[in-house]
A and B are shown apart, each in its own frame.
Chain A
Amino acid sequence: MRLWSELTLPKLIIWKKMQANFLNTNQIMRQVIYALVLGVGAQIYFFGLSVLIQILLGCITAVAAEAIFLRLRGQTIKPSISDGSAVLTAILLAISIPSIAPWWVIVLGVLFAIIFGKQIFGGLGNNPFNPAMLGYAFLLISYPLQMTQWPSEFISITHASETIFGLSSIDGLTGATKLDYVKTQLMMGASIKEIGSISVSQLWINIGFLVGGIYLLFRRVILWQIPISLLSGVVAMSSILFLMDSNHYASSIFHLLSGATMLAAFFIATDPVSASTTPLGRIIYGFLIGILIVIIRVYGGYPDAVAFAVLLLNITVPLIDFYTQPKVLGK
Chain B
Amino acid sequence: MPNSNFKGGLKIENPYPSNEIDLIRIPLPDKVVLPMQQRIGNQAIPCVSIGEHVLTGQIIATIDDDRCAPVHASISGTVTAIGNHVYAHQSGLKGLCVTIESDGKDEWVDTSIGCTENYKACLPLTIYDKIRISGIVGMGGAGFPTHTKMRLAAGCKNIIINATECEPGITCDAALMQAYPTKVIRGVEVLLHIIGAEKAIIAIEDDKQDSINELNKYCNNERIEIKVIPTKYTSGAEKILIKTLLGIQVPSGKFASDVGILCLNVATVVAMFDAVVENRPLISRAVTLAGSAIKEPKNFQVRLGATYDYLLSFVDLEEGSHKVTMAGLMMGINLKGTDYSVSKNTNCIFIDKAQESVVAQECIRCGMCNTVCPVELLPQQLYWFSKSENIEKAMDYNLLDCIECGCCSYVCPSNIPLVDYYQFSKALYKKQTQEKAQIEKARERFEFREMRLERNKSERAALMEAKKIALKEKMAKDRSQKEKIDAALERVNAAKIDNMEEDAS
Residues of A at the B interface (CB closer than 8 Å) are: 1-2, 7-18, 23-28, 79, 83, 85, 123-126, 223, 272-273, 275, 277-279, 282, 321, 325-331
Instruction: Compute the total of residue contacts between A and B using a CB distance below 8 Å.
Output: 151
Give the distance in Å from the alpha carbon of A24 to the alpha carbon of B366 in the complex: 11
User: CB distance A273 to B252 under 8 Å?
Assistant: no
Give the distance in Å from the alpha carbon of A285 to the alpha carbon of B332 in the complex: 38
Closest residue of chain A to B373 (Cβ to Cβ) is A326
Q: Report chain A residues within 8 Å CB of B254.
A: 330
User: CB distance B406 to A10 under 8 Å?
Assistant: yes
User: CB distance B401 to A277 under 8 Å?
Assistant: no
Q: Report chain B residues within 8 Å CB of A123.
A: 362
Q: Report chain A residues within 8 Å CB of B330.
A: 10, 12-13
A25-B358 contact given A1-B427, A7-B417, A11-B334, CB 8 Å threshold: no
User: CB distance A11 to B252 under 8 Å?
Assistant: no
Q: Report chain A residues within 8 Å CB of B357.
A: 8-9, 14
| Cβ-neighbour of A325 out of B253, B378, B410, B414 (below 8 A) | B378
User: CB distance A12 to B364 under 8 Å?
Assistant: no
Listed by A's residue number, 29 A-B pairs whose Cβ atoms lie within 8 Å are A1-B424, A2-B424, A9-B357, A10-B329, A10-B332, A10-B406, A11-B334, A12-B329, A13-B409, A14-B358, A15-B352, A16-B12, A23-B413, A24-B414, A25-B361, A25-B414, A124-B361, A124-B362, A125-B364, A223-B367, A272-B364, A272-B367, A275-B365, A277-B365, A277-B381, A327-B376, A329-B374, A330-B253, A330-B401
Please tell me if B350 contacts chain A, counting CB pairs below 8 Å.
yes
Closest residue of chain B to A220 (Cβ to Cβ) is B368
Give the distance in Å from the alpha carbon of A27 to the alpha carbon of B412 in the complex: 12
Give the distance in Å from the alpha carbon of A141 to the alpha carbon of B363 in the complex: 31
Q: Report chain B residues within 8 Å CB of A279.
A: 370-371
| Cβ-neighbour of A329 out of B90, B361, B376 (below 8 A) | B376
Closest residue of chain B to A327 (Cβ to Cβ) is B376
Give the distance in Å from the alpha carbon of A35 to the alpha carbon of B398 in the complex: 37
Give the distance in Å from the alpha carbon of A325 to the alpha carbon of B168 in the complex: 30
User: CB distance B366 to A272 under 8 Å?
Assistant: yes
Q: Report chain B residues within 8 Å CB of A126.
A: 362
| Cβ-neighbour of B376 out of A10, A16, A24, A326 (below 8 A) | A326
User: CB distance A11 to B329 under 8 Å?
Assistant: yes
Please tell me if B249 contacts chain A, counting CB pairs below 8 Å.
yes
Q: Report chain A residues within 8 Å CB of B424.
A: 1-2
User: CB distance A11 to B352 under 8 Å?
Assistant: yes
Give the distance in Å from the alpha carbon of A28 to the alpha carbon of B371 in the complex: 17
Identify the interface centre among A12, A223, A282, A325: most chain B CB within 10 Å of its CB.
A12
Instruction: Determine chain A's interface SS by DSSP, over half rule.
Output: loop
Give the distance in Å from the alpha carbon of A17 to the alpha carbon of B362 in the complex: 16
User: CB distance B380 to A277 under 8 Å?
Assistant: yes
Closest residue of chain A to B10 (Cβ to Cβ) is A16
Give the distance in Å from the alpha carbon of A26 to the alpha carbon of B419 in the complex: 22
Please tell me if B240 contacts chain A, counting CB pairs below 8 Å.
yes
Give the distance in Å from the alpha carbon of A27 to the alpha carbon of B410 in the complex: 16
Please tell me if B325 contacts chain A, counting CB pairs below 8 Å.
yes
Give the distance in Å from the alpha carbon of A282 to the alpha carbon of B424 in the complex: 29
Please tell me if B239 contacts chain A, counting CB pairs below 8 Å.
yes
Give the distance in Å from the alpha carbon of A23 to the alpha carbon of B411 in the complex: 9
CB A230 to nearest CB in B, in angstroms, measures: 16
| Cβ-neighbour of A331 out of B240, B252, B362 (below 8 A) | B252
Give the distance in Å from the alpha carbon of A125 to the alpha carbon of B364 in the complex: 5
Give the distance in Å from the alpha carbon of A328 to the alpha carbon of B8 in the complex: 12
User: CB distance A15 to B355 under 8 Å?
Assistant: yes
Residues in B230-252 with C-beta less than 8 Å from chain A: 239-240, 243, 249-252
User: CB distance A12 to B168 under 8 Å?
Assistant: yes
Give the distance in Å from the alpha carbon of A83 to the alpha carbon of B417 in the complex: 18
Q: Report chain A residues within 8 Å CB of B367.
A: 223, 272, 277-278, 282
A272-B365 contact given A15-B15, A329-B243, CB 8 Å threshold: yes
Q: Report chain B residues within 8 Å CB of A327.
A: 376
User: CB distance B415 to A24 under 8 Å?
Assistant: yes
User: CB distance B420 to A278 under 8 Å?
Assistant: no
CB A12 to nearest CB in B, in angstroms, measures: 3
